[in-house]
Amino acid sequence: MGFWKHRCSVVAGVLLLSVLSACAMNRDTTSDGAPLARQITASGQCGFTAPGLVYMDSRERLDALSEARGVNLVAVENHDFEREHLLLVAAGRKPSGGYGVALEESRIREGVLAITVQVRSPAPDQAVTMALTSPCALLAVTAEGWSRATVSGPGFDELSFQR
């Protein structure tokens, strides 16, 4: 009887560890319950001619982007880079106004931060500016728990980077 009791305890322990490790590998919030990614701001003019990602893990990288692209990122003036890094998601050149990029969801799966965005298009009867635009969204992403990120979604082909 002792053998079976011990064996059941071992099996129960292995099952518990499996569940806990799966939770650690797949999650959609930080350890303190905050979202893995949040949208800080969006713009219709970011200056990117093609879809792209710009990862910023320091104030210096943020300043370099602002200087190189002329993108005004005042919304992150006092950003805490210890806790969150920044990710600029650019949709590329669009033929008119009315386009935008929006964060849908984020999840960490086995060390990969998977971000889903949506590129919104203007409605057929919507009045829009007749000028080339380059919409983007600025996201704050958790600084911990991932080594690779992917961004994809409706209207946005998958892009990824390794850090």
- 106-132 per-position pLDDT tens digit: 999 999 999 999 999 999 999 999 999
Q: What is the average pLDDT across 66-84?
A: 79
Reported pTM: 0.81
| CA dist., res. 54 & res. 11, Å (int) | 46
Q: What is the average pLDDT across 7-15?
A: 44
Looking at residue 1, what is its pLDDT?
Answer: 54
Residue 105: pLDDT over 80: yes
Residue 90: pLDDT over 80: yes
Paired sense of beta strands 112-120 and 100-109, if any: antiparallel
- Residue 79 vs residue 10, higher pLDDT: 79
| CA dist., res. 145 & res. 83, Å (int) | 12
Of residues 163, 162, 160, the one with CA closest to residue 89: 160
The residue length of the chain stands at 163
DSSP, collapsed to helix, strand or coil, labels residue 160 as: strand
Looking at residue 2, what is its pLDDT?
Answer: 57
- Residue 160 vs residue 47, higher pLDDT: 160
A 10 A CB-CB count for 97 gives 18
Residue 155 is given by DSSP the state T
Alpha helices in the chain (DSSP H): 2-25, 59-69
Residue 3: pLDDT over 90: no
